[in-house]
């Protein structure tokens, strides 16, 4: 009995020592700031940071400028900027310092991150770069044509990504709504943002008359609540960037085809990509739209005849 008691005490002592070691290790890990290598995973394109599409705060115009100045791939710049911003925000959260902001991405920092991540996590790094390429490589035009005289003066939109929606059950808004400030059905031509192929068309209960176009690099562009289509499009039909595909409306929120009037006239734009875990994972169109505001198809308001300028 005495021997068993001694062994039992020893086991308890060893267990306490192991538990203490684990707790110490956890405390050390908690105090250690996350690195860029640790943050990047094979599923980074499924994170909120990627899906928000704010491009690490540098903006697409700035990213394209840096790409030209540095003579390097824009998608790797965006990937580095995203990772840097995400890790920086986590460090700021740990310090609880809301006033501390990261400096602009420098070429030296970009090269360091790109080389480090290519060496340490080549597959994950390439996957993130390709995620940006899928979404952005084919974009050419703002989806609402601009009046030849007044431009985009009759539309407005804001960053409503993630706002609550209730039709069909509680859910989050997975797109951007571009509103017609005159609330007039059919007043704005909607154009394809990209070249692509029609993948879906027709009535959806939530989306009304919608058309979904798959771009060459694989992103899916979803245009919903159309008043009407510009042509008798069929699945598999090719469309071109800047081509009119329909007219802004207020169709949807009903199982009855043709229902209108359940909300103001607007275009719901959704952008999706396929990932390891999702057939269609939505990303935020807002910052992409801000970039495309000066890349519009013009039209004559009286005739709705459209023409494109070289905005590339």
* pLDDT > 90? residue 166: no
Give the model's pLDDT for residue 56: 83
pLDDT band at 8 (very low <50, low <70, confident <90, very high): low
Please count the residues of the chain.
312
Give the model's pLDDT for residue 94: 47
Using a pLDDT cut of 90, give the percent of the chain over it.
71
Give the model's pLDDT for residue 114: 96
Mean pLDDT calculated for residue range 160-184:
87
Contact between 178 and 269 (Cβ < 8 Å) = yes
pLDDT digits (tens, 9 = 90+) for 120-141: 999 999 999 999 999 999 999 9
Give the model's pLDDT for residue 172: 80
User: Whole-model pTM?
Assistant: 0.85
SS (H, E, C) the chain: CHHHHHHHHHHHHHHHHHHHHHHHHHHHHHHCCCCHHHHCCCCHHHCHHHHHCCHHHCCHHHHHHHHHHHCCCHHHHHHHHHHHHHHHHHHHHHHCCCCCCCCCCCHHHHHHHHHHHHHHCHHHHHHHHHHHHHHHCCCCCCCECEECCCECCCEECCCCCCCEECCCCCEECCCEEEEECCCCCCCCEEECCCCEEEEEEEEECCCEEEEEEECCCCCEEEEEEEEEECCCCCCCCEECCCCEEEEEECECCCCCCCCECCCCCEEEEEEEECCCCCCCEEECCHHHHHHHCCCCEEECCCCCCEEECCCC
Give the model's pLDDT for residue 96: 47
Place of tokens 């290519």: 118
Q: Which residues pair with 213 in a beta bridge?
A: 198, 221
Place of tokens 């697409």: 60
Which one has a higher pLDDT value, 184 or 164? Answer: 184
Backbone φ, ψ for residue 282 (5° rounding): -75, 150
Cα–Cα dist 207/54, whole Å: 25
Give the model's pLDDT for residue 311: 47
Q: What would the two tokens of residue 137 be?
A: 């490589």
Closest C-alpha among 263, 284, 264 to residue 167: 263
Residue 299, phi-psi category: left (phi > 0), alpha (psi -120 to 50), beta (remainder): beta
pLDDT digits (tens, 9 = 90+) for 26-68: 554 455 678 999 999 999 999 999 999 998 888 899 999 999 9
Cα–Cα dist 60/76, whole Å: 13
pLDDT digits (tens, 9 = 90+) for 80-112: 999 999 998 765 554 444 444 456 889 999 999
Contact between 225 and 249 (Cβ < 8 Å) = yes
Cα–Cα dist 63/75, whole Å: 9
> Per residue in 225-238, is it b (16+ CB within 10 Å) or e — as a string?
bbbebbeebeeeee
Mean pLDDT calculated for residue range 232-239:
97
Question: CA 144, 148, 154: angle at the middle one, nearest 5?
Answer: 50
List, in order of start, the domains of the chain with CATH numbers: 36-136 (no CATH), 146-308 (2.70.70.10)
Cα–Cα dist 59/45, whole Å: 18
Give the model's pLDDT for residue 303: 73
Using a pLDDT cut of 70, give the percent of the chain over it.
84
| Residues 6 or more apart whose Cβ sits within 8 Å of residue 301 | 147, 148, 149, 150
């Amino acid at each position: 009995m005495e021997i068993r008691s001694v062994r039992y005490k020893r086991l308890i002592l060893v267990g306490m020592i192991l538990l203490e070691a684990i707790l110490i290790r956890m405390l050390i890990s908690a105090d250690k700031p996350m690195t860029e290598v640790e943050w990047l995973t094979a599923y980074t394109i499924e994170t909120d940071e990627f899906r928000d599409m704010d491009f690490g705060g540098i903006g697409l115009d700035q990213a394209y400028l840096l790409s030209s100045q540095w003579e390097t791939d824009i998608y790797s710049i965006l990937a580095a900027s995203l990772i840097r911003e995400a890790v920086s925000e986590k460090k700021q959260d740990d310090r609880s310092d809301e006033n501390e902001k990261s400096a602009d991405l420098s070429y030296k920092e970009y090269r360091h991150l790109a080389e480090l991540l290519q060496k340490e996590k080549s597959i994950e790094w390439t996957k993130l770069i390709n995620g940006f390429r899928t979404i952005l490589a084919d974009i050419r035009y703002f989806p609402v044509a601009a009046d030849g005289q007044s431009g985009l003066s009759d539309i407005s939109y804001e960053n409503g990504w993630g706002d609550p929606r209730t039709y069909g059950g509680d859910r989050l808004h997975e797109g951007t709504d571009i509103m017609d400030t005159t609330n007039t059905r059919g007043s704005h031509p909607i154009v394809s943002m990209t070249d692509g192929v029609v993948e879906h068309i027709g009535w959806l209960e939530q989306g009304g008359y919608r058309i979904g176009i798959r771009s060459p690099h694989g992103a899916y562009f979803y245009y919903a609540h159309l008043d009407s289509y510009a042509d008798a499009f069929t699945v598999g039909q090719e469309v071109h960037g800047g081509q009119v595909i329909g007219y802004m409306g207020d169709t949807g929120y009903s199982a009855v085809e043709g229902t209108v009037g359940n909300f103001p006239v607007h275009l719901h734009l959704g952008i999706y990509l396929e990932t390891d875990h999702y057939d269609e994972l939505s990303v935020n169109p807002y910052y992409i739209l801000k970039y495309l505001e000066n890349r519009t198809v013009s039209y004559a308001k009286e005739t709705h005849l459209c023409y494109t300028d070289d905005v590339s």
